[in-house]
Amino acid sequence: MRPTTSAYHHGDLPAALVRAAIELLEEGGSSELSLRAVARRADVSTAAPYRHFANRQALLSAVAAVGYRELAQHLAAANPDPKTADDFADIAIAYVQFALQRPGLFRAMFVEPSDSGSPDRVAAVDAITDYLKSIVHQAFPDVDADAGAKATWSLVHGLAFLHLDGKFDASSAEAIAETVRAVVRVTLTASGRVATQ
């Protein structure tokens, strides 16, 4: 469990509210999230969140933007220069691990309605999309990078939710890695485009 937000006294209130929202999501899921609950967690008046977020959806957009940025960093750290199927599997495993380690945040990013016009959220999604396009283009220069990025994201995202929802064995890091690595290797090597090692 992540540490709880200490009472808010000064500084960046929007960031404190987003941190409080993420904590609530990670502790109890989206059913526990309201602007009133976030205000209580941040130890501010119930009116304070409305000065920065028009409604729950706007707050969730800010939460999602943080989640997308954290996910992008997590993926880039998993393998900075992927070329083989196993390299791509490292990134896929990191994606699934992020979903399992931060399920409340992950579901808020992808399940909860949010403001598609939120500049922070749009920029954060664009950063992940650009990252995926760049690694797909690097590995498959003759494939449409946009379509390749969407295909890759769809595959890995499906794996994440199948693990989250208990359809695949998530009992250990090894079991998760074995499943994800096998799926990625089969998918990428079936076309003969990517080396296995």
Mean pLDDT in order along the chain per 10 residues (197 residues): 47 91 89 89 93 91 94 92 89 97 93 81 89 88 90 95 97 97 88 56
What is the C-alpha separation between 134 and 179, in angstroms, rounded? 25
User: Tokens in use for 61?
Assistant: 């957009």
Q: Domains along the chain?
A: 1-53 (1.10.10.60), 63-189 (1.10.357.10)
Q: Are 34 and 56 in contact (CB under 8 A)?
A: yes
What is the C-alpha separation between 130 and 94, in angstroms, rounded? 18
Centroid of chain to Cα 50: 26
**pLDDT at residue 94, as a whole number:** 97
Measuring CA to CA, which residue among 110, 139, 141, 138 is closest to residue 124? 110
**pLDDT at residue 69, as a whole number:** 93
Contacts of 139 (CB under 8 A, 6+ apart): 82, 83, 88, 193, 194
What is the C-alpha separation between 181 and 38, in angstroms, rounded? 38
Helices (H) and strands (E) in the chain, counts: 8, 0
Report pTM. Answer: 0.86
**pLDDT at residue 1, as a whole number:** 41
Q: Are 92 and 156 in contact (CB under 8 A)?
A: yes
**pLDDT at residue 141, as a whole number:** 86
Residue type, 150: K
